[in-house]
Structure 1
Amino acid sequence: MGGPSTTDEVEDFLSRLFADGDLIPLGSLQKYLGPLIARRRTPKIQKQYSEIGGGSPIRKWSEYQCAEMCKILDEISPETAPHKPYVAFRYAKPLTEEMYQKLFEDGFGRGRGGRAVAFTQYPQYSCSTTGSSLNELWKWRNRLEGRRAGESEEGTIQWSVIDRWPAHPGLVEAFAQRIEERLATYPKERRNNVLLLFSAHSLPMSVVNRGDPYPAEVGATVHGVMQRLGFSNPYRLCYQSQVGPSAWLGAQTSDTVENYVKKGYTDIILIPIAFTSDHIETLYELDREVIGGANQPGVTRIESLNGSPTFIRALAEIARDHLRSGEPCSRQLPLRCQDCRSERCLQQKKFFAGEQLADLVR
Structure 2
Amino acid sequence: MVYDAFLLLSFGGPEGQDDVLPFLENVTRGRGIPRERLEAVAGHYRHFGGVSPINAQCRELIEALRPGFELPIYWGNRNWHPMLADTVRQMRDDGVQRAIAFVTSPFGSYSSCRQYRDDIDRARAEVPGAPVIDKIRHYHDHPGYIAPHADAVRAAVAGRTSPRLVFTAHSIPTSMNAASGPGGVGRYQAQLLETARLVAAQAAPELSWDLVWQSRSGPPQVPWLEPDINDHLEQLAKDGVTEVVVSPIGFISDHLEVLWDLDEEAKATADRLGLDYVRAATPGADPRFVDLIRELVAERVLAHGNVRHALGTIPTWDFCPADCCVSPKRP
TM-score normalized by structure 2? 0.83
Q: Percent identity?
A: 24
- Range moving further from structure 2, 156-165 or 90-99: 156-165
| Corresponding residue number in structure 2 for 1:219 | 193
Instruction: Kindly provide the amino acid, as one letter, of the partner of residue 229 in structure 1.
Output: A
Contact kept in structure 2, 1:268 and 1:300, CA below 8 Å: yes
In the alignment of these two chains, the number of paired residues is: 301
Distance 1:339 1:174 in 2: 27
2:80 pairs with 1:92: yes
| Corresponding residue number in structure 1 for 2:176 | 207
> Is the alpha carbon distance of 1:94 and 1:63 closer, same or farther for their aligned partners in structure 2, counting shifts above 3 Å?
same
Deviation at 1:207, TM superposition (A): 1.3
Deviations 1:81-134 (A, max 9, x none): 2x22222222222221122123234x134xxx3x31111111112122221011
Distance 1:341 1:7 in 2: 32
Contact kept in structure 2, 1:116 and 1:160, CA below 8 Å: yes
Contact kept in structure 2, 1:195 and 1:269, CA below 8 Å: yes
2:263 pairs with 1:287: yes
2:125 pairs with 1:142: yes
Aligned-residue CA RMSD (Å): 2.5
| Corresponding residue number in structure 1 for 2:296 | 318
- Structure 1: where are the runs of 5+ without partners? 20-30, 75-80, 147-155, 343-362
User: Over alpha carbons, which structure has the higher Rg?
Assistant: 1
Instruction: Kindly provide the amino acid, as one letter, of the partner of residue 97 in structure 1.
Output: A
Deviation at 1:264, TM superposition (A): 1.9
| Corresponding residue number in structure 2 for 1:357 | none
Q: Counterpart of 2:250 in 1: which secondary structure?
A: coil
Distance 2:275 2:84 in 1: 42
> Is the alpha carbon distance of 1:236 and 1:336 closer, same or farther for their aligned partners in structure 2, counting shifts above 3 Å?
farther
Distance 2:90 2:268 in 1: 42
> Is the alpha carbon distance of 1:171 and 1:99 closer, same or farther for their aligned partners in structure 2, counting shifts above 3 Å?
same
| Corresponding residue number in structure 1 for 2:65 | 69
Contact kept in structure 1, 2:110 and 2:325, CA below 8 Å: no
| Corresponding residue number in structure 1 for 2:133 | 159
Q: Counterpart of 1:87 in 2: which secondary structure?
A: strand
| Corresponding residue number in structure 2 for 1:196 | 165
Distance 2:92 2:327 in 1: 33
Deviation at 1:196, TM superposition (A): 0.9
Distance 2:172 2:178 in 1: 10
Large movers: runs of 4+ above 6 Å? none
In the TM superposition, what are the counterparts of 1:1-362 in structure 2 within 5 Å? 1-19=11-29, 31=30, 34-37=31-34, 39-72=35-68, 74=69, 81=70, 83-105=71-93, 107-109=94-96, 113=97, 115-145=98-128, 157-184=131-158, 186-187=159-160, 190=161, 193-210=162-179, 211=184, 212-229=186-203, 231-243=205-217, 244-245=219-220, 246-295=222-271, 296=274, 298-326=276-304, 331=317, 333-337=319-323, 340=326
